[in-house]
Structure 1
């Protein structure tokens, strides 16, 4: 990694000496480092077992979110296409502490970002959630995108990994067939972060919220908010500020768990049967 980091700094144009290089926590799948040179501070993460566009598509997502002017994201200084699976991305070092207004600002800013709309639902290239691929295409209707690119994708992975006993397989197929009953309501294609669990935002200077580690797409904004509720990490102030600036559909509570199902299937496929009970409960609630 040190060689890859030195290469990245050279590409950035920072040829000063590395004063400090400390490995830090950076998620489940990457090696992450705080780098301090004579000139600058960086957050650099790398991986030796990823697809060639793994870091490029992350940089692309950060750029799209930044261009809205609605949210704060780290500056991208450099990324490379992994050579034989090895690659890094060099980002702005963000450090700060939450204050009493941080989560309210986060809700306002996310609502503003969600009001930047695409022409269609989906994305123009495949992305990742963890190391799992997320196939993407564009669809006129959100329900078609969610069915084909999200639920069918995880269904296929689950089948390959032996995560679908007959009852679960039957109920999941039944829910996918009936999906238009719940989410075919003309949702607009909002720009979404796509992987907004509680660990993918942080506070910077003056308590300003920053979004990190996106897996962007255009889709129903209720899909994003449903995921924030699944594992926690967000306050009442966040949700109130969001709702004040971009109200959720009236039937949000009726569809929330259908959207959470996708992320639970992801966790089932990544981590196994610990998530099976939650998947089965949702399936039985809707089609059991």
Structure 2
């Protein structure tokens, strides 16, 4: 069943303006869902489209966008609607023309992210589970950060990896690391900061006024270092971003080892989503951490 009539009708109902699609263009960049730019000639929207069983991904993404938007710090595309029919699910967002960064916009991103990270909760987790890519992300509230990261992040991904057939050294190293996590924290219980949760280069840009804009979040409250660690994972952000962030909210000592722990979560997730090519990287990260414990 073609979803576009249903999408048009839902947009019209939500906005209380007639909407008939005159232009629809497939966009590049998404690896989980298809993305489209649709227009009736005057109004333009961004649409993410997937199969009906992926509705929960879009529903939790809309909640995450709203959580960040409530902070009133960093721009987030407005959510228009989430919907589905018998075959398809969709998320319709405000369409924003994206621009490349300049030094001042990168600095603004660092400053604004530091301010967002100062928004805190009393526990670690979130009001609901969501997704990291298409993998469920468990956000049950916890008072203990180390236990949260051990059980809801690394252990969960290692169990998925075992179910996917990744055993051997990966599991042996993983089990050892889980028992040694406290070595890297020394009872450190960081503030429970509002996190984007999936902050790599593909999930931020800048609008026409050079204001940062974030999208595709995997929101929860936790150690702010997890967001900063992920910015370094796939090539890194600009020096201006890091300088501005550190100026406003300096990172704690020990970050350079903890960032490996935090990025291991994402590499294990990539292993579970995209296959064996990520296994050597995951094993190397765990070996590096275990060597630090033994030193």
Q: Hey, what's the Cα distance between the residues in 1 that align with 2:157 and 2:254?
A: 25
Give the Å deviation of 1:152: 1.3
**Following the alignment from structure 1 to structure 2, what is the Cα–Cα distance between the partners of residues 143 and 195?**
19
Distance (whole Å) between structure 2 residues aligned to residue 15 and residue 239 of structure 1: 45
Q: What is the CA–CA distance in structure 2 between the aligned matches of 1:50 and 1:246, rounded to whole Å?
A: 40
Residue 120 of structure 2 corresponds to residue 122 of structure 1 = no
How many Å separate the matches in 1 of 2:149 and 2:85? 32
* Aligned equivalent of 2:110: 107
Q: Deviations over 1:27-51 (max 9, x none)?
A: 1011111111244211111111544
How many residues are matched?
286
Alpha carbons 1:202, 1:211 under 8 Å: kept: yes
Aligned equivalents of 1:159 and 1:263: distance in 2? Answer: 16
Q: Does 2:166 correspond to 1:163? A: yes
Say if 1:172 and 1:236 are closer, same or farther in 2 by CA, change over 3 A: same
* Aligned match of 2:24: 21
SS of the aligned residue for 2:190 comes to coil
Tell me if the contact between 1:54 and 1:127 (Cα under 8 Å) persists in the aligned partners.
yes
Equivalent position of 1:229 in the other structure: 232
For residue 83 of structure 1, report the CA deviation from its aligned partner.
Answer: 4.6
CA distance in 1, matches of 2:18, 2:257: 55
2:280 to 273, 277, 287: 277
C-alpha distance after superposition, 1:231-282 (max 9, x if no partner) = 0251000111111111111111121111111111001111122111111111
C-alpha separation between the residues in 2 aligned to 1:85 and 1:36? 23
CA contact (8 A) 2:19 2:40 kept: yes
1:254 alignment partner in structure 2: 257
TM-score (norm 1): 0.94
In the alignment, structure 1 residue 267 sits paired with structure 2 residue 270: yes
Q: CA RMSD in A?
A: 1.6
Cα distance between partner residues in 1 of 2:247 and 2:140: 32
Q: Is the 8 A contact 1:196 1:228 kept in 2?
A: yes
Q: What secondary structure, in the 3-state scheme, does the structure 1 residue paired with 2:31 have? A: coil
Structure 2 unpaired stretches of 5+: none
Task: State the 1:228 CA deviation.
Answer: 0.8
2:152 corresponds to 1:152: no
The equivalent position to 2:72 in structure 1, one of 45, 63, 69, is 69
Work out the CA distance in 2 between the residues paired with 1:119 and 1:84.
40
Residues 26 and 45 in structure 1, CA contact (< 8 A), matched pair in contact too: no
User: Aligned in 2, Cα 1:50/1:108: closer, same or farther, shift over 3 Å?
Assistant: farther
Residues 61 and 216 of structure 1 are in contact (CA less than 8 Å); yes or no, is this contact kept in structure 2? yes
Matched, 1:212 2:202: no
Please give the TM-score of this superposition, normalised by the length of structure 2. Answer: 0.92
Query: Hey, what does 1:3 align to over in structure 2?
Result: 5
Structure 1 gaps, min length 5 = none
Tell me by how many angstroms 1:15 deviates.
Answer: 1.2
* 2:232 aligned counterpart, secondary structure: helix
Q: Match of 1:254, SS?
A: helix
**Match in the other structure for 1:30:** 33
Cα separation, partners in 2 of 1:61 and 1:221, compared to 1, 3 Å: same
